[in-house]
């Protein structure tokens, strides 16, 4: 059997051109800018600069923030063509419900219920709820490359048999945080974005949402629009906001995408540039392209047409790239009238029609989080495939046929091997493609009890860990200069990264991780709060660039990358109480056998003003980090991300969990304890899950309701994983657990469950 | 002017949280950004905001910024000149 390929069988988009694919297509064909003076909120700058606001009246749902509405509009269009429901969702974004939060905070609103859609992860959950998706849901936030990074994760879900139909893309609405933030960085061009132009002065903020519906099949389903053939991720590890001056990270991402696609530079027919219009981005990107391509193909940025929709931009441009392939056209670099000859590249000043076999699309974000993807004509490998050049409606029957064919080939191939461990891969799909497990090389944590040693000492004595670590007393070899400008979440993350690296026996300079995967439920709250406070107090006159750069969810992970010189993938996942689980799953999807060890970190900060509004049960903070070696068949002490699924209200998420874990027999034989993570906000659902689990499995081991010990906050599961690793490696229960009738694990492992709106499982086994 | 330079150095330390530096550690005529002080483009923008807030002098684009932030003295001269022009 050949590998599973990811075909684009639907696409949806909302942006400055309006709602729907055809509006975007017209804008691309007409070569006209859709940018207009910003009107969605009043700004202190006169005249208001151009922005990429949605170009028509929106059927908004007033009950949810604008980002959520945009996301659902685009998602529905992507699904409508094939009338399929996704079995996984991967969403990229940067700000979630911030536009609503800004208004609420300004008005002094304190009721937590009004802030319930603040979190970026809530956009992904909102989609899952409305699209009836019971399966893996991940929200990824890598600043302006979020939508592209989401597509990489979706691609790997399909290749590695974790899902067959994945909805992936990005969504971001305009907000004051991002508008004033880019303004404080002097990165907004008052004349509107002019990518690659000699006079360019910056970007144009925009909003939008876009999704691709990816279907896993061996051969293109009838009417497939394109194939996502490869994607690459890298990190500059250079600066929190400015790109690497020589475009080293940008080049690495493009190279990885091409190699992932099994293609050479000569096979690329068009490059969709990141091309924001900032002096530095365009220079670094041009340098990277010149270094990689001896003779670059036609290229253009479409941000002069739609603006820069941040986390949605990569997804919007992926949709545009799909249209280029399906309809044989490449768009003009609108906004550029006199190309900057210093860049050494000639962007397309007018669109061109012709066959497009493959497109390389670039996205680069703050923190040097780079992503590139390659989309190709689905018919390029099959002589007999009938492409419908102007179709955007693939036949549902054709997709169903391809899925059925795949099913019949795969049926029964998830089997237990002789050791009783599940081989989580499709047979014949190549060992490299399966989801990775991780050998634990080192762990670290920060809790109310203090550092890793203090935490484990307290835990072994039966003490509680809840509270907030006093960072002033935590010993670290990080210099004061390296912690300057960093607030609580970034500081904790940097300390955790360094401590996990040390625990793995790695020197700071010699042990760069192959990638960093970070989970955070709320992102940097201090910077967000400080930025908005200053914005409101000065009526938009003074806002701090340091706070803006520090406020993005991926700031902590990119700081860790700079410090540890980690130039591999740098992914930040944000899924509320399941953020650590999403980060670990992302790592398992992206890494391959033989890759360098990776750092997986999860942390959250408690903020005295914001936490009571956003997460009213939160009473602690801290986090944990793991230095992990990815292995298809890990040995020794290991973490196995075994299950992650959104569970619609009223459904029991436990039966699919038991199935994924290999059945009741294996669960009882393999695990001596369950560490149950039950978020206080969904206590009743979580307890029902425990009851269902016990009833269905007959499990008689210890159930440890660990949030009583770790304290209540969204990073608690990462700390619980460190505790589980400690218990499994020592084999002895601490007093919290031995009081429940058993004293030791007897060689068994621990099952770390997340139980509530999502059901998750991580195996900690030896 | 020397007093103003001293005042600016203290403000630079406060604004950029350079806790382990004293005013005499910052050279008056030497390079301010990209030197061993470890200051970068974000620090420049943070100082742009401080200067607008405290002295009412705007430095609105990066080209002007690059010139003005050459050294503490060039910064002092620029602010002083613009304050005078505005009659402040």
3-state secondary structure A72-137: HHHHHHHHHCCCCCCCEEEEECCCCCHHHHHHHHHCCCCCHHHHCCCCCHHHHHHHHHHCCCCCCE
Q: Mean pLDDT, to the nearest integer, of A407-423?
A: 44
The reply to whether residue B17 touches residue A485, judged by beta carbons under 8 angstroms, is yes
Angle at A25 between CA A24 and CA A26, to 5 degrees: 90
What is the tens place of the pLDDT at every residue in A277-315? 999 999 999 999 999 999 999 999 999 999 999 999 999
* CATH number 3.40.50.300 is the correct assignment for the domain at A5-397: no
Task: Give the model's confidence band at A439: pLDDT under 50 very low, under 70 low, under 90 confident, else very high.
Answer: very high
Chain B environment of A279 (Cβ under 8 Å): 62
Nearest CB partner across the interface for A480, out of B16, B19, B46: B19
For residue A511, what pLDDT is reported?
A: 75
For residue A349, what pLDDT is reported?
A: 97
For residue B84, what pLDDT is reported?
A: 72
**ipTM of this predicted structure:** 0.90
Selected for mutation to probe chain B from A244, A481, A535 (highest B CB count within 10 Å) is A481
The reply to whether residue B17 touches residue A549, judged by beta carbons under 8 angstroms, is no
Residue A393 has pLDDT above 60, yes or no: no
> What is the percentage of chain A residues whose pLDDT exceeds 70?
93
> What is the percentage of chain A residues whose pLDDT exceeds 90?
83
pTM of the model: 0.94
SS3 for A744? strand
Q: Mean pLDDT, to the nearest integer, of A405-433?
A: 43
For residue A430, what pLDDT is reported?
A: 37
What is the tens place of the pLDDT at every residue in A180-234? 999 999 999 999 999 999 999 999 999 999 999 999 999 999 889 999 999 999 9
* φ/ψ (deg, to 5) at A165: -125, 110
State the pairing for strand pair A88-92/A50-51.
unpaired
Chain B environment of A546 (Cβ under 8 Å): 42, 46
In the numeric block, the tokens 């690059």 are attached to: B66
* φ/ψ (deg, to 5) at A97: -95, 25
Residue B10 has pLDDT above 90, yes or no: yes
* φ/ψ (deg, to 5) at A18: 130, -160
Nearest CB partner across the interface for A542, out of B38, B42, B53: B53
Give burial (CB, 10 Å; 0-12/13-18/19+) of A676: buried
| Ranges of each domain in chain A | 5-397, 437-765
Q: How many Å apart are CA A493 and CA A602, to the nearest integer?
A: 8
Selected for mutation to probe chain A from B62, B63, B66, B69 (highest A CB count within 10 Å) is B62
For residue A394, what pLDDT is reported?
A: 53
For residue A463, what pLDDT is reported?
A: 94
Angle at A195 between CA A172 and CA B64, to 5 degrees: 100
Q: How many Å apart are CA A81 and CA A390, to the nearest integer?
A: 14
Q: How many Å apart are CA A252 and CA A243, to the nearest integer?
A: 13
Nearest CB partner across the interface for A241, out of B38, B42, B65: B42
In B67-86, the residues whose Cβ lies within 8 Å of chain A are none
- Least Cα distance to A715 among A603, A561, A640 occurs for A603
Q: Which is more confidently placed, B59 or A666? A: A666
Task: Give the model's confidence band at A2: pLDDT under 50 very low, under 70 low, under 90 confident, else very high.
Answer: low
What is the tens place of the pLDDT at every residue in A581-622? 999 999 999 999 889 999 999 999 999 999 999 999 999 999
Q: Does residue B50 sit at the A interface (CB-CB below 8 Å)?
A: no
What is the tens place of the pLDDT at every residue in A655-704? 999 999 999 999 999 999 999 999 999 999 999 999 999 999 999 999 99
SS3 for A737? helix
Q: Does residue B38 sit at the A interface (CB-CB below 8 Å)?
A: yes
In the numeric block, the tokens 């000149």 are attached to: B81
Residue A387 has pLDDT above 70, yes or no: no
Can A5-397 and A437-765 be said to share one CATH topology?
A: yes
Q: How many Å apart are CA A298 and CA A331, to the nearest integer?
A: 10
Sequence-separated (6 or more) residues with CB below 8 Å from residue A188: A49, A179, A182, A202, A203, A204, A205
CA distance from start to end of chain A: 33
For residue A84, what pLDDT is reported?
A: 82
A665 CA to centre of own chain: 34
What tokens appear for A320 in the block? 């545009």
Chain A environment of B56 (Cβ under 8 Å): none
Task: Give the model's confidence band at A484: pLDDT under 50 very low, under 70 low, under 90 confident, else very high.
Answer: confident
- Least Cα distance to A165 among A210, A139, A141, A131 occurs for A131
User: What is the radius of gyration, based on Cα positions, of chain B?
Assistant: 12
What is the tens place of the pLDDT at every residue in B35-58? 888 898 899 999 999 999 999 999
Q: Bridge partners of A372?
A: A232, A362
Q: How many Å apart are CA A583 and CA A140, to the nearest integer?
A: 9
Our CA-based measurement puts residue A490 at a distance from the nearest CA of chain B, in whole angstroms, of 16
With an 8 Å Cβ cutoff, the interface of chain A facing chain B consists of 184-186, 201, 239-242, 279, 480-481, 484-485, 541-546, 549
Q: Does residue B6 sit at the A interface (CB-CB below 8 Å)?
A: no
Average per-residue pLDDT for chain A: 92
Active-site position among A183, A244, A308, A607: A308
Nearest residue in chain A measured CA to CA from B54: A542
For residue A414, what pLDDT is reported?
A: 41
The reply to whether residue A544 touches residue B49, judged by beta carbons under 8 angstroms, is yes
Task: Give the model's confidence band at A632: pLDDT under 50 very low, under 70 low, under 90 confident, else very high.
Answer: confident
Q: Which is more confidently placed, B82 or A401? A: B82
Q: Mean pLDDT, to the nearest integer, of A119-141?
A: 97
Residue A569 DSSP symbol: -
For residue A663, what pLDDT is reported?
A: 97
The verdict on whether A144 is a catalytic residue reads yes
Residue A736 has pLDDT above 70, yes or no: yes
CA distances from A665 to A138, A163, A417, A679, A728 (A): 30, 25, 14, 28, 20
For residue A408, what pLDDT is reported?
A: 67
| CATH number listed for the domain at residues A437-765 | 3.40.47.10
Our CA-based measurement puts residue A333 at a distance from the nearest CA of chain B, in whole angstroms, of 25
Q: Does residue B52 sit at the A interface (CB-CB below 8 Å)?
A: yes
CA distances from B1 to A223, A570, B73, B75, B77 (A): 74, 48, 9, 11, 8
Nearest residue in chain A measured CA to CA from B36: A481
What is the tens place of the pLDDT at every residue in A146-166? 999 999 999 999 999 999 999
For residue A735, what pLDDT is reported?
A: 84
SS3 for A184? helix
- Least Cα distance to A138 among A105, A177, A169, A179 occurs for A169
Q: With DSSP H G I counted as helix, E B as strand and the rest as coil, what are the percentages for chain A, rounded to 5? A: 35, 20, 40
For residue A46, what pLDDT is reported?
A: 83
The verdict on whether A274 is a catalytic residue reads yes
Selected for mutation to probe chain A from B25, B43, B45, B65 (highest A CB count within 10 Å) is B45
- Least Cα distance to A96 among A134, A127, A55 occurs for A127
SS3 for A42? coil
**Domains annotated on chain B, with CATH:** 2-85 (1.10.1200.10)
Q: Which is more confidently placed, A371 or B83? A: A371
The reply to whether residue A185 touches residue B62, judged by beta carbons under 8 angstroms, is no
Nearest residue in chain B measured CA to CA from A184: B45
Return the top range by mean pLDDT from A48-62, A424-438, A750-764.
A750-764
Instruction: Judge contact between A302 and A264, C-beta under 8 A.
Output: no
Nearest CB partner across the interface for B45, out of A186, A239, A541: A186
Q: Which is more confidently placed, A325 or A473? A: A325
Our CA-based measurement puts residue A243 at a distance from the nearest CA of chain B, in whole angstroms, of 12
The verdict on whether A34 is a catalytic residue reads no
């Amino acid at each position: 059997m050949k590998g599973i390929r990811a075909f684009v069988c639907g696409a949806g988009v909302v942006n400055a051109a309006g709602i729907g694919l055809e509006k975007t297509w017209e804008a691309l064909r007409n070569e006209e800018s859709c940018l207009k003076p910003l009107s969605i909120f009043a700004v202190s700058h006169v005249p208001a600069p151009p922005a990429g606001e949605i170009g028509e009246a929106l059927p908004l749902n007033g009950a949810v923030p604008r980002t959520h509405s945009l996301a659902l509009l685009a998602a529905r269009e992507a699904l409508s063509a094939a009338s399929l429901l996704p079995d996984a969702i991967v969403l990229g974004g940067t700000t979630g419900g911030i536009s609503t939060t800004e208004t609420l905070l300004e008005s002094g609103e304190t009721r937590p219920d009004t802030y319930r859609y603040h979190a970026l992860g809530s956009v992904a959950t909102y989609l899952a709820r409305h699209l009836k998706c019971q399966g893996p849901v991940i929200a990824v936030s890598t600043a302006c490359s979020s939508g592209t990074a989401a597509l990489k994760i979706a691609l790997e879900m399909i290749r590695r048999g974790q899902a067959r139909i994945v909805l992936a893309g990005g969504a971001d609405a305009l907000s004051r945080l991002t508008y004033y933030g880019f303004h404080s960085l002097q990165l907004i061009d008052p004349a509107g974005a002019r990518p690659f132009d000699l006079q360019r002065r910056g970007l144009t903020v925009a909003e939008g949402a876009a999704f691709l519906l990816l279907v896993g099949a061996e051969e293109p389903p009838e009417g497939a629009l394109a194939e996502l053939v490869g994607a690459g991720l890298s990190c500059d590890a250079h600066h929190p906001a400015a790109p690497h001056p020589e475009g080293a990270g940008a080049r690495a991402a493009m190279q990885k995408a091409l190699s992932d696609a099994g293609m050479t530079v000569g096979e690329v027919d068009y490059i969709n540039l990141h091309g924001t219009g900032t002096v530095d981005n365009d220079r670094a990107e041009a340098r990277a392209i010149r270094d990689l391509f001896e003779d670059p193909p036609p290229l253009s940025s479409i941000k002069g047409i739609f603006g820069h929709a941040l986390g949605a931009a990569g997804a919007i441009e992926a949709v545009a790239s799909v249209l280029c392939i399906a309809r044989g056209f490449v768009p003009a670099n609108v906004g550029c009238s006199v190309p900057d000859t210093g860049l050494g590249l000639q962007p397309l000043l007018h669109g061109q029609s012709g066959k497009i076999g493959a497109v390389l699309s670039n996205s680069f974000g703050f923190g040097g989080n780079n992503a590139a993807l390659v989309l190709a004509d689905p018919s390029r490998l099959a002589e007999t495939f009938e492409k419908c050049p102007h179709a955007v409606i693939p036949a549902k029957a054709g997709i169903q046929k391809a899925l059925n064919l795949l099913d019949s080939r795969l049926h029964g191939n998830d089997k237990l091997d002789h050791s009783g461990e599940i081989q989580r891969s499709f047979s014949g799909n190549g060992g490299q493609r399966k989801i990775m497990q991780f050998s634990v090389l080192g762990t670290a944590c920060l809790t109310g009890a203090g550092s890793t040693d203090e935490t484990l000492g307290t835990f072994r004595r039966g003490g509680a860990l809840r509270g907030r670590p006093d960072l002033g007393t935590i010993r670290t070899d990080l210099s004061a200069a390296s912690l300057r400008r960093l607030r609580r979440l970034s500081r904790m993350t940097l300390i955790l990264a360094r401590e996990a690296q040390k625990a793995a026996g790695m020197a700071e300079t010699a042990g760069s991780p192959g990638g960093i995967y970070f989970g955070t439920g709320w992102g940097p709250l201090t910077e967000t709060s400080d930025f908005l406070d200053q914005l409101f107090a000065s009526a938009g006159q003074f806002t701090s660039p340091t706070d803006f750069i520090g406020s993005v969810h991926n700031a902590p992970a990119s700081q860790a990358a700079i410090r540890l010189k980690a130039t591999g993938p740098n992914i930040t996942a944000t899924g509320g109480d399941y953020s650590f689980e999403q980060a670990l799953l992302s790592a398992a999807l992206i890494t391959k056998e033989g890759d360098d060890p990776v750092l997986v970190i999860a942390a959250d900060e408690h903020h005295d003003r914001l936490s009571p509004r956003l997460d009213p049960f939160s009473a602690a903070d801290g986090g944990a980090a793991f230095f992990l070696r990815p292995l298809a068949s890990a040995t020794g002490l290991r973490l196995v991300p075994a299950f992650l699924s959104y569970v619609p209200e009223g459904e029991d998420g436990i039966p699919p969990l038991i199935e994924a874990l290999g059945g009741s027999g294996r669960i009882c034989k393999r695990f001596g304890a369950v560490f149950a993570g039950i978020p206080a906000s969904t206590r009743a659902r979580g307890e029902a899950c425990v009851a269902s689990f016990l009833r269905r499995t007959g499990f008689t081991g210890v159930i440890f309701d660990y949030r009583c010990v770790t304290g209540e906050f969204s990073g608690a599961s990462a700390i619980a994983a460190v505790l589980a690793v400690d218990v499994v490696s020592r084999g002895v229960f601490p007093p919290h657990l031995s009081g429940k009738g058993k004293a030791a694990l007897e060689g068994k492992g621990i099952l770390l469950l997340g139980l509530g709106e999502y059901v998750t499982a991580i195996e900690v086994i030896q | 002017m020397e007093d103003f330079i001293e005042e600016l150095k203290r403000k630079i330390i406060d604004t950029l949280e350079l806790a382990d530096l004293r005013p005499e550690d910052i050279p008056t005529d030497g390079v301010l950004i990209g030197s061993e002080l470890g200051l970068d483009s974000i620090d420049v923008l943070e100082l742009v905001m401080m200067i607008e807030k405290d002295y009412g002098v705007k430095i609105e684009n990066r080209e002007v910024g690059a010139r003005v932030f050459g050294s503490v003295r060039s910064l002092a001269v620029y602010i002083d000149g613009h304050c005078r022009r505005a009659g402040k």
